[in-house]
Amino acid sequence: MNTLDTNYASKYGGSVMIDLLEKYPEMVVLWAGYSFSKEYNQARGHAHAINDIRNILRTGGVQESPQPATCWTCKSTDVPRLMNEMGTANFYKSEWFDLGVQVINPIGCQDCHDPETMNLRITRPALVEAFQRRGKDINEFTRQEMRSLVCAQCHVEYYFKGKEDKYLTYPWDNGFSADEMEAYYDNVDFIDWTHKLSRAPMLKAQHPDYELFMTGIHAKRGVACADCHMPYKSEGGVKFTDHHIRSPLSNVANTCQVCHRQETQTLMQDVYDRQDRIEELKRLAEKTIAAAHIEAKIAWENNATEVEMKPILKLIRHSQWRWDWVAAANGLGFHAPVEALRVLGTSIQKGEEARRMLAVVFVKHGVKYPVQLPDISTKKKAQEFVGLEIDKLKKDKDELLKTVVVKWDEDAKKRQGSLIEYKPK
Domains and CATH numbers, the chain: 2-416 (1.10.1130.10)
State the amino acid at position 18 in one-letter form.
I
**Short-list 45, 44, 52, 61, CA closest to 96:** 61
- 167 phi and psi, to 5 degrees? -80, 120
Tell me which long-range contacts 257-262 makes (C-beta under 8 A, separation of at least 24): 258/227, 258/231, 259/223
Residue 233 and residue 238: Cα distance in Å, rounded? 8
4-18: buried (b, 16+ CB within 10 Å) or exposed (e) per residue? bbbebbbebbbbeeb
H-only helix segments in 238-336: 264-301, 306-327
Helix (H, G, I), strand (E, B) or coil at 141: coil
pLDDT in tens, the chain (425 residues): 899 999 999 999 899 999 999 999 999 999 999 999 999 999 899 999 999 999 999 999 988 777 889 999 999 999 999 999 999 999 999 999 999 999 999 999 999 999 899 999 999 999 999 999 999 999 999 999 999 999 999 999 999 999 888 999 999 999 999 999 999 999 999 999 999 999 999 999 999 999 999 999 999 999 999 999 999 999 999 999 999 999 999 999 999 999 999 999 999 999 999 999 999 999 999 999 999 999 999 999 999 999 999 999 999 999 999 999 999 999 999 999 999 999 999 999 999 999 999 999 999 999 999 999 999 999 999 999 999 999 999 999 999 999 999 999 898 888 876 555 544 43
The contacts of residue 324 (CB under 8 Å, 6+ apart) are: 203, 204, 205
Say what the pLDDT of residue 66 is. 75
Furthest-apart CA pair in the chain: how many Å?
77
Residue 379 and residue 15: Cα distance in Å, rounded? 22
> Please, are residues 225 and 148 in contact by the beta-carbon 8 Å criterion?
yes
SS (H, E, C) 147-212: HHHHHHCCCCCCEEECCCCCEEECCCCCCCCHHHHHHHHHHCCCCCEECCCCCCEECCCCCCHHHH
Residue 401 and residue 406: Cα distance in Å, rounded? 7
Residue 373 and residue 384: Cα distance in Å, rounded? 14
Q: What is the pTM of this model?
A: 0.95
> Please, are residues 25 and 377 in contact by the beta-carbon 8 Å criterion?
yes
Residue 164 and residue 141: Cα distance in Å, rounded? 33
